[in-house]
Amino acid sequence: MPVEMDRARFEELVADALDLIPRRFTAAMSNVVVLVEDIHEDNPNLLGLYHGISLTRRTSNYSMALPDQIFIYRLPILSVCRTEEEVVRQVAVTVVHEVGHHFGIDDATLHDLGWG
Q: What is the 3-state secondary structure (H, E, C) of the chain?
A: CCCCCCHHHHHHHHHHHHHHCCHHHHHHCCCEEEEEECCCCCCCCCCEEEECCCHHHCCCCCCCCCCEEEEEEHHHHHHCCCCHHHHHHHHHHHHHHHHHHHCCCCHHHHHHCCCC
Q: Return the domain boundaries, the chain.
A: 7-56+63-112
pLDDT in tens, 97-114: 999 999 999 999 998 888
The pLDDT of residue 82: 96
pLDDT at 53: 92
Average pLDDT over residues 23-32: 92
Span 7-36, average pLDDT: 95
Residue 94 is which amino acid? Answer: T
pLDDT for 114 equals 84
> Which pLDDT score, from 0 to 100, does residue 2 have?
79
Q: Specify the CATH number of the domain 7-56+63-112.
A: 3.30.2010.20
Q: pLDDT tens, 34-76?
A: 999 999 999 999 999 999 999 898 888 888 888 999 999 999 9
> What confidence tier does 116 reach under pLDDT thresholds 50, 70, 90?
confident
